[in-house]
Structure 1
Amino acid sequence: MKKKTPILIVLLLITVFTAACSKDSSDPRNSSADAGDNKNPVTIEFAAGKDASGELEKSIERFNRSHDDIQIKYVEMPAVPNEQITRYSTWFNSKSDTPDLLMIDVTWPAMFASAGWIEPIDEYVDQDYLSRFWPAATDVAKVNGKLYGIQGYMDVGVLFYRKDLLDKYGLPVPQTWDELAKTAQLILQKENNPNLTGFVFQGAKIEGATINWLEHLWGAGGDIYDGDAIKVDTEQGIKALQRMSDFIVKDKVSPLSVSTSNPADNNIVFSGGNAIFMRNWPASFAQLKGTAVDGKVGIAPIPHDVGGESHASTGGWVYAVNSNSKHKKEAVEALKFFLSDEEQKSMAIHASKIPSVKSVFEDPATRQAQPILETLQPILETAKSRPVLRNYETFSRSVQTQVNLVLSGQKDAATGLKDAQKELDEKLKS
């Protein structure tokens, strides 16, 4: 028996050691890959549209260099929102756990939250943190009392104009749509340049067509609400769409190609010196540097109808977290990095983004690098958000389809909005 005792002790030690190793390897809390240590950092996928300035990728690189435990993999999304939402729908309807962090249009939080696609982030932020932002930057993602994201940067529609051409002929910046049409006609006649057009805007069957129509509608004193009902087939609605069509057909200051154009298309035409006016977003300003119109451009409020007021549509993108992500905490850490003062300031200076952090918006260095912020502040004060609808996408698809058909000459304005109303009545009824 004495000879067997050492053997039993050795066997017992081996058993205990093996059990301990087994426990360590099977318990996810002890997994270095899940814990995100230096050897095996957690990789999160971040889906966002391409930033033409390249600053977003530089921001991601800064995050990756400063974090040993988390690394961001950039998933580039299509430039057009309609194409983005199609891809998101495919991913999330299949319960994909990636991308972990995503940027979504300001009109999507209610829809995404209702579908269970994005996660509330209330547990990760407090009121002191949220007080850093413009109220709209957080309000836009509040659904049923819960916060589902934070706006990464603000956006608002503006009118770009060729300051050099207006100065050349002693013309003021137009305040109404009729003034814009007459000013463009006069300059086109005097310039006699076959490559020059008067006014470019977004008329393709995309969200931009809905936005442009809304800005015309608001500028005519209209709205889409009739009590609790949605009404687009109204006197002001038809007037707004007719005004858009008139630029092409009656005034002949906009090319037929606006019916197939998006913001990037418009920017190509304008930056090449081939347009007098352009409706676009502030980010386009940075993209004009080094082009044929560098230093020759001004920015003004969106025009309105006679007797109306200028109301530009707000826009922008919201950081949100995939509800099926396996790394929600890490995704929020990345979100907070992008929303830090330093990164907000960098995006404002190098990518012409409008900061959602108030202090950065008012920072002297930011203002010096991006003087248009001073012009944008009053525009933001009178700007309007697009309709807050859980089924906003249904609304927008109906409107943009009919706007596009009218701009391409396939329907008249009254028929187009009558057909849009019929479709909305069928799809939005309870």
Structure 2
Amino acid sequence: MRVRGKPWWLFAAGNLTGAAVAAALFLVGPLAGPPELEPGELVILSGQDDSTGGQRQQLINLWNDSHPRNRARIVSVPQAADGQWIEMASRAEDGDTDIFNLDVAWTAYFADPPSGRRLIRPIDESLLAEEPGRAFMAKPLETCRYAGKLWGLPFNTDAGLLYYRTDQGLKPPFDWAAIERGAGRAGFEAAYTGQLAGYEGLTVNTLEAVWAAGGRLDVAADGRVTLDLDRWDEAMRRLTPRRTGPPVVLPRSTTFDETGSRGAFQDGRVLFMRNWPVAYRAMTAGDEPGPARPPVKFSVAKLPGPSVLGGQNLAISERTRKPRAAQALIEFLTNDQSQRALFDPGGFAATRAAVYEDETIKQKYPYASLLREAVDTARLRPVSPNYVAFSKRLHQLVSEVLTGRQKQLPRDLADRLTQALRGR
């Protein structure tokens, strides 16, 4: 049922969030749920929940309290993006998954896989309580559309930020020249670290470095790639750890993912770090696993250039036998109240502008406005069913340069990336 155009569960929750919603549901007792939803458990295949306090699971708990006929369960797959894609793609055919929590770069593949029929089904926009273009920020919503259809709803978005030490007299904004001037600072091993291991994180860091150098990556409708190789060479120069002189990039960065680079920053080894917004909460929440670290004085600024747009979208499995129930759960997890909970206290970047416009949020989290700007100005990775092959080829070639196995990127880089996007 709907109340004034809203799903029944949104009406029941009202303006409550977090513990208040849980308390309200406890007082009124579990609700049976709309009878038109197909009964049965809903399984969400997702990467590990790295939100502060396991906020994703908290939202699932709220859903389960009010939907005993459609209890939901998260099944986690490997944390690294590359491993997630392999496992999700392999499980898509078995029919045991109802909802996929997909990286934003994977929409085209799951909607139109090169090897067979689609793995996800379009969202039925006639059943949505809100018009997506009004509810969600433009860039996150853009990643849900492919070939004229809406294939999911934005669960959380992401944009890279530049973390810097506030106890070292550093003042934003920072370009690469400012970062490089930090090399040789007493008490620090290097100026900068990022996610430069050979996985999706390296693709992201590479594109951001290219854009910061004024470079481009253009992809035509037929997959043809054009780029300015001299700017790509400059980006490689910036990211490659120096063999002589004071290091700008921490040499161990070529083995780092998000967690490794955050550890180096917290341990006081570098002045600057590129990372996602969730690192902000991880470093301030004080509940990280492993040995306790002394608090580090830091703040965040914009990257030297545009960020890659990150995040995850919730999509309905083509094989599910409960499509209406799956879509209702997706709406619940992406509604205004859930987005507020994912940002505060979860630490994920919200997909709705209203969260960033909330005065309480802006006062509690001064970086919220900066994060919104980073999302609004972020750029999408190439949209293609063959994106994963493209990314793998790119980060393999870049890794050879950063680790010294090759002196420079191949001169036919554009052709090699074109072949990957064409599935060859």
- Structure showing the higher helix proportion among its residues: 1
1:74 to partner: Cα distance: 1.1
1:174 to partner: Cα distance: 5.6
Which residue type is aligned with residue 303 of structure 2? Answer: I
- Residues 98-113 of structure 1: matches in 2 within 5 Å? 98-113=96-111
The answer to whether 1:405 aligns with 2:400 is yes
Which residue type is aligned with residue 137 of structure 1? Answer: P
Name 2:11's counterpart in structure 1: none
Deviations 1:83-122 (A, max 9, x none): 0011012112xx2112211111111111110120111013
* Mapped partners of 2:248, 2:159: distance in 1: 24
1:374 to partner: Cα distance: 1.7
1:429 to partner: Cα distance: 4.8
The answer to whether 1:275 aligns with 2:270 is yes
Name 2:234's counterpart in structure 1: 239
Query: Would the alpha carbon gap of residues 335 and 411 (structure 1) be closer, same or farther in structure 2, given more than 3 Å must change?
Result: same
Name 2:23's counterpart in structure 1: none
Which residue type is aligned with residue 296 of structure 1? Answer: K
Name 2:45's counterpart in structure 1: 47
- Residues 53-64 of structure 1: matches in 2 within 5 Å? 53=52, 54-64=54-64
Match of 2:200 among 200, 207, 213: 207
1:389 to partner: Cα distance: 2.6
> Does the residue aligned with 2:315 lie in a helix, a strand or coil?
strand
Deviations 1:207-241 (A, max 9, x none): 11111111111112211127662035711112211
- Residues 17-416 of structure 1: matches in 2 within 5 Å? 42-52=40-50, 53=52, 54-92=54-92, 95-115=93-113, 116-123=118-125, 124-125=127-128, 128-165=131-168, 167=169, 171-173=170-172, 175-185=174-184, 187=185, 190-191=186-187, 196-225=189-218, 229-232=224-227, 234-246=229-241, 251-289=246-284, 290=286, 292=293, 294=295, 296-303=297-304, 310-413=305-408, 416=409
1:338 to partner: Cα distance: 0.8
1:147 to partner: Cα distance: 0.5
* Mapped partners of 1:387, 1:135: distance in 2: 17
TM-score by length of 2: 0.81
1:62 to partner: Cα distance: 1.5
Query: Would the alpha carbon gap of residues 311 and 250 (structure 1) be closer, same or farther in structure 2, given more than 3 Å must change?
Result: farther
TM-score by length of 1: 0.80
Contact kept in structure 2, 1:151 and 1:318, CA below 8 Å = yes
Note the aligned Cα RMSD (angstroms). 2.5
* Mapped partners of 2:357, 2:78: distance in 1: 32
* Mapped partners of 1:337, 1:344: distance in 2: 10
Deviations 1:265-288 (A, max 9, x none): 111222333331110001100000
* Mapped partners of 2:372, 2:73: distance in 1: 34
Which residue type is aligned with residue 117 of structure 1? Answer: L
> Does the residue aligned with 2:154 lie in a helix, a strand or coil?
strand
Which residue type is aligned with residue 382 of structure 1? Answer: T
Contact kept in structure 1, 2:190 and 2:271, CA below 8 Å = yes
Contact kept in structure 2, 1:41 and 1:68, CA below 8 Å = no
Query: Would the alpha carbon gap of residues 42 and 369 (structure 1) be closer, same or farther in structure 2, given more than 3 Å must change?
Result: farther
* Mapped partners of 1:249, 1:49: distance in 2: 39
Rg comparison, structure with higher value: 1
Contact kept in structure 2, 1:238 and 1:417, CA below 8 Å = no
| Runs (5+) with no aligned partner, structure 2 | 1-32, 287-291
Contact kept in structure 2, 1:45 and 1:72, CA below 8 Å = yes
Contact kept in structure 2, 1:181 and 1:247, CA below 8 Å = no
Which residue type is aligned with residue 235 of structure 1? Answer: D
Query: Would the alpha carbon gap of residues 358 and 91 (structure 1) be closer, same or farther in structure 2, given more than 3 Å must change?
Result: same
* Mapped partners of 1:225, 1:161: distance in 2: 31
Name 1:6's counterpart in structure 2: none
> Does the residue aligned with 1:287 lie in a helix, a strand or coil?
helix
Identity %: 26
* Mapped partners of 2:311, 2:160: distance in 1: 10
Worse-matched range after superposition: 105-114 or 285-294: 285-294
> Does the residue aligned with 1:252 lie in a helix, a strand or coil?
coil
Worse-matched range after superposition: 284-293 or 54-63: 284-293
* Mapped partners of 1:386, 1:143: distance in 2: 13
> Does the residue aligned with 1:183 lie in a helix, a strand or coil?
coil
Name 1:13's counterpart in structure 2: none
After TM superposition, the runs of 4+ consecutive aligned structure 1 residues lying more than 6 A away are none
* Mapped partners of 1:428, 1:388: distance in 2: 9
* Mapped partners of 2:63, 2:415: distance in 1: 49
* Mapped partners of 1:341, 1:278: distance in 2: 31
